[in-house]
């Protein structure tokens, strides 16, 4: 198995084996303050959130190739990100808009608001079966 992580100090996404060996940078270009990542090993996708000057949700293959932006409008401080493997949906929470939203993880289409609060400051989100879990500060 592999371990993936973001380094928003250096604007990198990296991977290594679970024992720390074979560490290398997957994406180093075009990132601006990456925050969270989610991996879909079966489909071979990596998803991430960015705060930066142009906040967004990104997608690439696990080797960093074919990088695309799935969401760039109506997003401010995307924090946590999670995959619903059964429904093929990608969820994220936004600490600025106080929302949990989702999209189709293949196309980025069918964007929906799942939960909208006020002054919640959502930090992370997880999806399991019919349940959505989130944390706030």
- What's the pLDDT score for residue 117? 81
Q: How far apart are the first and last CA of the chain?
A: 31
Give residue 7's pLDDT: 84
pLDDT of residue 8: 75
Tokens read off for 117: 């609060």
What phi-psi label fits residue 16: left (phi over 0), alpha (psi between -120 and 50 degrees) or beta?
beta
Q: What is the pLDDT of residue 136?
A: 79
Could you tell me the pTM of the whole model?
0.92
Strand residues in 18-111 grouped as ranges (E): 24-27, 34-40, 45-50, 56-61, 68-71, 78-84, 89-94, 99-104
Q: How far apart are CA 94 and CA 51, in angstroms?
A: 10
Question: What DSSP assignment string belongs to 74-88?
Answer: S-S-EEEEEEETTTT
Give the torsion through C-alpha atoms of 115, 118, 123, 125, to 10 deg: -10
Q: What is the pLDDT of residue 38?
A: 97
Q: What pLDDT does residue 56 have?
A: 96
Domain residue limits, the chain = 2-136
**pLDDT the model gives residue 14:** 92
Residues of the chain with pLDDT under 50: none
The CATH-assigned architecture of domain 2-136 is 6 Propeller (2.120)
Contact in structure between 76 and 96 (CB atoms under 8 Å): yes
pLDDT at 63: 94
H or E segment and range at residue 136: strand 131-136
Q: How many CA atoms lie within 13 A of 22 on its CB side?
A: 9
* pLDDT for 68: 96
């Amino acid at each position: 198995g592999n371990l993936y992580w973001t380094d928003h100090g250096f604007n990198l996404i990296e991977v290594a084996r679970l024992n720390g060996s074979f560490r290398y940078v997957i994406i180093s270009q075009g990132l601006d303050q990456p925050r969270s990542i989610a991996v879909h090993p079966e489909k071979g996708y990596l998803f991430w959130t960015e705060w930066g000057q142009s906040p967004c949700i990104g997608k690439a293959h696990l080797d960093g190739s074919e990088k695309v932006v799935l969401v760039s409008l109506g997003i401010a401080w995307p924090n946590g990100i999670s995959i619903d493997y059964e429904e093929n949906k990608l969820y994220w929470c936004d600490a600025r808009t106080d929302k949990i939203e989702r999209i189709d993880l293949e196309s980025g289409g069918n964007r929906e608001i799942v939960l909208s609060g006020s002054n919640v400051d959502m930090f992370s989100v997880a999806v399991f079966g019919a349940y959505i879990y989130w944390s706030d500060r």
